[in-house]
Structure 1
C-alpha cells in the first residue's frame, strides 16, 4: 500500500515512542554493565577493595519465527504466525562511605547499557544484609548476628537453651 499525501502525516496525534515500562534488559546488556563497572572499580579502589553482585538474571526466553514468504523462497520473513518459534535469546524483566564517590560513577556508566530509565539508590543497609548500618555493629556485639559468607544469620533470643549456652560460653 502506498503512502498518502504528506499533509495527512503532518500532525500526528500520538507519539510513536515505545513505552519504557515494556523495555527488557538483554543478557548481553547485563554482562556489558558488569564489565563497565568492574573496570572502573579496579582502577579507583584496587582489585580486592570492592565486591559487586548482580542479582538480576535473564530467565525470560525470547523467540523468533521465520516464515518463507513466496514460492521461490529466496527471502525469509520474520513474523508471528503460529504460536512458537526458535529461541533467540534471554532477557530479564526490569523495574524501574569512603569509596562512595568511586561507586556512584561506575554505576552511572553502567546504567547507559540498559534500556529504559535507571536510578542509582544508595542503601542504608550494611553490605548485602537486611540490617541498617547503625544497628548492625550493636547486634554483632550482642551476638544476635553470626557472620555467614557475604551475609549474616540472625540468631534471636529465643529457642533451645543449649544453643544459647554454646554461643555465649
Structure 2
C-alpha cells in the first residue's frame, strides 16, 4: 500500500472517530450552544408518487394540523360578475381517470387557461371556474440521507408521515375546469382547455356542454322558459319559478308570482 493510500485511510478513520465522538456527546454540545449545520433544503416529492387513490379521504381537521396552504387560492377568473345571459356557451375539461390532482397542477392549469383566453379572446370575454378543490392532505415520512443518518432514523417504524401538501380526489367523468363565453369565442375556449390539459396527469376530454352557461337548463329549454317568463336571472345562474301559492291559482298562466309575468 502506498503512502498516499495510507494517508487517505488514516484520514477516513480519524473522521469516523470524530463523528462518533460528536454523536456521543451531542447533548453536551447542545447545552454549550453548539448547533448542527442546517441541512440542505429538500426538493418537493413528485406528484406522481401520490397519483393513485389508495386511502380514505384525509382532510384537514383538529386531528390533522400543520397542513400547508394549497397553491391554488383563486377558483373564479375573468368576468365572474357577468350575468347569466351574457355568456351562453359553456365548455368543460373532464377527467377520464380516477386519480389525485395536486393543488400545484390546478394552479398551473388555471394560469395557462387564463393566459391564453386573456391574450386571444380578451379579458372581458370569458369566465373560468375551477370545479375541484384540494381537500385531501398528502403525507411524507422524511428519511435522512446524510452521513450517520442510520443512527438517527427508525426506518418504517412509526411511518405515519407529516403533512406535505394537498390534492383533489378526482373521479371518472368529473369536471375539472369550466369556461363560459360567447359563441364567437368557443374555439379560443377549446384551445385554452387543450393547453391546460398538459398540466394534469392522466387523460382528460374537452366536452362542449348542452347547458346554458353554468346553469342546469339546456339551451333550448332556457330560451323557451325565458320567453314564457318562467325563469329569472340569479347571478351566473338562473332561478326557475315554481307553482307555489294557493291551489285556486294553480291554473295555466296564473300559478306564478308577479316577477314571472313581468
TM-score, scaled to structure 2: 0.51
Q: Deviations over 1:34-79 (max 9, x none)?
A: 1000011011111111101111101110001125689933798797
Tell whether the 8 Å contact from 2:241 to 2:256 is kept in structure 1 after alignment: no
Tell whether the 8 Å contact from 2:98 to 2:171 is kept in structure 1 after alignment: no
TM superposition shift of 1:133: 0.8
1:102 is matched with 188
Q: Tell me the secondary structure at the aligned position of residue 82 of structure 1.
A: coil
Task: Measure the CA separation in 2 of the matches of 1:75 and 1:92.
Answer: 37
Q: Tell me the secondary structure at the aligned position of residue 66 of structure 1.
A: coil
Which structure 2 residue ranges, 5 or more long, are not aligned?
1-50, 53-95, 173-182, 250-254
**In 2 relative to 1, CA 130–22 (structure 1 residues): closer, same or farther, beyond 3 Å?**
closer
Is residue 220 of structure 2 the alignment partner of residue 134 of structure 1? yes
2:107 is matched with 31
Which structure 1 residue ranges, 5 or more long, are not aligned?
1-17
Q: Deviations over 1:79-111 (max 9, x none)?
A: 754363210000111233221111110100000
**In 2 relative to 1, CA 34–126 (structure 1 residues): closer, same or farther, beyond 3 Å?**
same
1:42 is matched with 118
Task: Measure the CA separation in 2 of the matches of 1:49 and 1:78.
Answer: 57
2:231 is matched with 145
Task: Measure the CA separation in 2 of the matches of 1:81 and 1:90.
Answer: 24
**In 2 relative to 1, CA 70–114 (structure 1 residues): closer, same or farther, beyond 3 Å?**
closer
Q: Deviations over 1:14-49 (max 9, x none)?
A: xxxx87956321101001001000011011111111
Higher relative contact order (CA 8 A, sep 6+): 2
> Whose radius of gyration is greater, 1 or 2?
2
Give the RMSD, CA atoms, in angstroms. 3.1
Count of equivalent residues? 151
Is residue 209 of structure 2 the alignment partner of residue 123 of structure 1? yes
